Amino acid sequence: MGKGLRADLKGAAKQLVGGFHRAASTDYPYRTALILTDALAGHAEELLTELTTLTEGRYRFVGGGAGDDAKFSQTHAFFGGEAFTDAVVGLEIRSRRPLGIGVSHGWSPVGRPLRVTKALGMRIIGINPFFSREV
């Protein structure tokens, strides 16, 4: 687990990766980590970049951010029977064969693709169509 994402993203990433068994192993050459973060702490993309750098690109990362039913007041990451805010947790998976990772959420688009054209932190300021023509 890494704590203090808002104030020290790099420190939280180092805390998390510190719990991984990063030593080279021919027994388990494939490495994946399930990453679950407090979504309201923000900086998920920067966190993944830092985790990739710290693990020298040897891990595949999957996961997501905790939600609170769109209340946007407080989200939690769970570790060792406790709930934490402003934190990230990870589960390291080492295997002899690569893991297959896929998404099958069953959702279907309700409109044209859109692109965020302006943002302030985690707040969306502007959205425009992704493509200039109909898709």
Question: Running along the chain, 135 residues long, what does each successive block of 10 average in pLDDT?
Answer: 92 94 75 89 86 91 79 81 90 89 74 82 80 48
The per-type count for the chain, helices as H runs and strands as E runs, is 2, 8
How high is the pLDDT of residue 93?
Answer: 92
Task: From 43, 3, 85, 47, select the one nearest 33 (Cα to Cα).
Answer: 47
How high is the pLDDT of residue 108?
Answer: 80
How high is the pLDDT of residue 135?
Answer: 41
Using CA atoms in the order 28, 16, 36, 46, what is the torsion angle rounded to 10 degrees? Answer: -110
How high is the pLDDT of residue 84?
Answer: 87
